[in-house]
Amino acid sequence: MTDWTQQTEQARTWFETLRDRICAEFEAIEREADSDAAFEYTPWQREEDGNPDPGGGTRGLMKGKVFEKVGVNVSTVKGSFSPEFAGQVNGASTDNPGFTATGISLVAHMANPHVPAVHMNTRFLTTQAAWFGGGADLNPPIAYAEDTEDFHARLRAACAAHNPTYYERFKKWADDYFYIPHRQVHRGVGGIFYDHLECENEAAFERHFAFTRDVGETFLDIFPRLVRRRMESEFTPADKLTQLEWRGRYAEFNLVYDRGTLFGLKTGGNIDAILMSLPPEAVWS
């Protein structure tokens, strides 16, 4: 079995650096809106019986004038899956339930309903296998074709730089994944979602790590531009109600279907960090 310790550390360092850059950019947007909101960082330590070094992470949270609630979490954990969960994870089994995982996860809920909410995460996991996964998707309560096209155009370009098949494959994966069956609606206007980019060797690790870094860079480039485009838009009480009703759908997906939520709960993650994706306010009619 390959020892992926060094590669896990490389990925962890990148995710933490990306976190710092994203948080700085979001705080800069708050300053442009005459807000002094800033991220508060809360470290947490994972616990697992019989594991002296289970890892942990840091939850970053900001509530401001533009970002009503935004969480940016980075975690690096290791241990063993429970027997009932091990068989559901790529490369793990009841005989070999060990894992390591490092990643960044971000969800932003915006004060202005014309500004799209967004989700982004990238991660590196090892079991008996090693792979990258992640993606980014746009979730506007009030959709604008211009914003959707610009978001997808940047993701399309990032994918094309690595593999001509990536964008169509990963866009469809996002469309299929971010769907609420009981409502028969999509959670938003999509993006890309990928998983199990297998690292059979060091060359594969470098290739997939480069793509994963570009996903992060793409997000950092395009999403702040969309925020600045819409954050001063006038909105009505009806617009706000539309946003709150849409947030209810978002909460339903994350609590019922989201694999990241399940993974965090099944591996002893920090509850507040796992559920930071939930909106600060929502309504159900």
DSSP at 182: T
Token code pair at residue 35: 């807000």
List 114, 119, 186, 208, catalytic entry? 119
Q: Which residue has the tokens 């993606």?
A: 135
Measured distance CA(110)–CA(97) in Å, rounded: 39
Measured distance CA(53)–CA(14) in Å, rounded: 21
Measured distance CA(150)–CA(146) in Å, rounded: 6
Task: Taking each helix axis as running N to C, give the angle between helix 145-160 and helix 166-177, from 0 to 180 degrees, rounded to the nearest 10.
Answer: 130
Measured distance CA(171)–CA(112) in Å, rounded: 27
Helix (H) or strand (E) holding 93: none
DSSP at 183: T
208 is catalytic: no
Active site residues: 119
